[in-house]
């Protein structure tokens, strides 16, 4: 079973994606901020990280930087799920080697889950 860590601080978004991903057969863990996420990543590397960029305590950009500098995590598959829709944000995230950038308002949860299934095949 493939494992996914969702880093998101919105309980509604967490609930939707956790249910959809579990129903698709993934093991899902949650972190509410970047610091919690990094601790979980150090304990167990998931198959995929779903990352929001606007987070309390350690934002998504800072977390991306820490992940890519960490020898054990630098090749972690990451998709961004964010409301930041500026071209500069998408381009900046691509510099961190993310696989896909989903703007929350432009994709349904079902579409995102389908893409994640393709990524993890």
CA 79 to chain centre: 5
pTM: 0.96
Domain residue spans in the chain? 3-119
Q: Per-block average pLDDT, block size 10, for the chain (121 residues)?
A: 97 98 98 97 98 94 96 97 93 94 96 97 91
Q: What is the pLDDT of residue 57?
A: 86
Fold (CATH) for 3-119? Rossmann fold (3.40.50)
Query: Tokens for 59?
Result: 């934002």
């Amino acid at each position: 079973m493939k494992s996914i860590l969702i880093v998101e601080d919105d309980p509604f978004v967490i609930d939707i994606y956790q249910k959809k991903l579990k129903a698709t057969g993934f093991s899902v863990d949650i972190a509410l901020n970047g610091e919690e996420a990094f601790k979980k990543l150090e304990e167990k590397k998931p198959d995929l990280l779903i990352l929001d960029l606007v987070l309390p305590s350690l934002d998504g950009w800072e977390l991306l930087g820490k992940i890519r500098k960490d020898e054990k995590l630098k090749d972690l598959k990451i998709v961004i799920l964010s409301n930041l829709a500026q071209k500069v944000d998408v381009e900046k995230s691509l510099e961190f080697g993310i696989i896909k950038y989903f703007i929350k308002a432009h994709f349904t949860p079902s579409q995102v889950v389908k893409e994640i299934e393709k990524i993890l095949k």
